[in-house]
Amino acid sequence: MTSRYLSIDLGAESGRVMLGTLEDGRIALEELSRFSNTPIRYGERMYWNIPALLDGIRAGLASAGALGQVITSVSADAWGVDYVLLDAAGEIIEPVFHYRDPRTAEAEKTVLAKVDWPTLFEETGVQYMLLNTSIQLCAEPPARLAKSAQLLTIADAINYLLSGIGKIEMSMASTTQLYNPRQAKWSERLIDALGLPSAIFPEVAAPATTLGPLKPELASETGLANLNVVASLSHDTACAVAACPAEGERWA
């Protein structure tokens, strides 16, 4: 039996859409689209160009549709920590900040004035870095957070834009420094201590969660009917680890 799947792999410098064909226990990969991921620079500020990424993704999906083959599902992965804010209508609140934007330098003081480093690590197991989502959110202007209805990490935002369903997959939630892996849920302790609006944090999805079908308008545009959007492993590093052909528990 032959099964086909689409992967949207987004890196900090480029992205690609890949077709994976699984047959007789072997997988064959075919690149359908490759595109640059060039940040927008405005003085010292750095933003992600989400519309440009979507153009590259749509081109890859259209190439997949042109093959005329039955494809089971599509899923996106990307780098961690960065995020998209959505308003009440589900629209992206621009800009989408780059993790190298210098805004976090001042926000670090805000975070450490409210929560000490040992507590952050105890709650999340995540090392302290200026680019962490926790610090980025504390750099957000209150007005932007006030009009935000939902936060989605980059890969999960792409899955949302494809399906209309917004969830954050577990591996990506773990990169935010706001997720408690022991309790398998958002850290209310940290979110409250940092004064962040808890309502913007969506449901955390288990790996391999089917979100729903590709939006009808995208299915029509790309020729991909009956294609499911799946939150497989949203964090690119988690994908790399999962793909290691290792067995047993004692390996690294």
Report, as residue numbers or ranges, the catalytic residues: 236
> Quick one: DSSP state of residue 78?
B
What's at 225, amino acid-wise?
A: A
Contact status, residue 23 vs residue 72, Cβ threshold 8 Å:
no
Nearest of 142, 168, 191 to residue 82 by alpha carbon: 168
Phi, psi of 188 (to 5 degrees): -60, -35
Phi, psi of 210 (to 5 degrees): -80, 120
* Angstrom distance (rounded) from CA 21 to CA 173: 29
* Beta carbons within 10 angstroms of residue 190's beta carbon: 22
Cα within 13 Å of Cα(137), Cβ side: 28
**What would you report as the CA-atom Rg of the chain, rounded to the nearest whole angstrom?**
19
Residue found under tokens 């949203």: 234
For the record, the structure tokens of 102 come out as 């210098």
For 82, 104, 139, 143, 185, the CA distances from 136, given in Å and listed in that order, are 8, 6, 5, 15, 20
> Quick one: DSSP state of residue 37?
-
Contact status, residue 215 vs residue 74, Cβ threshold 8 Å:
no
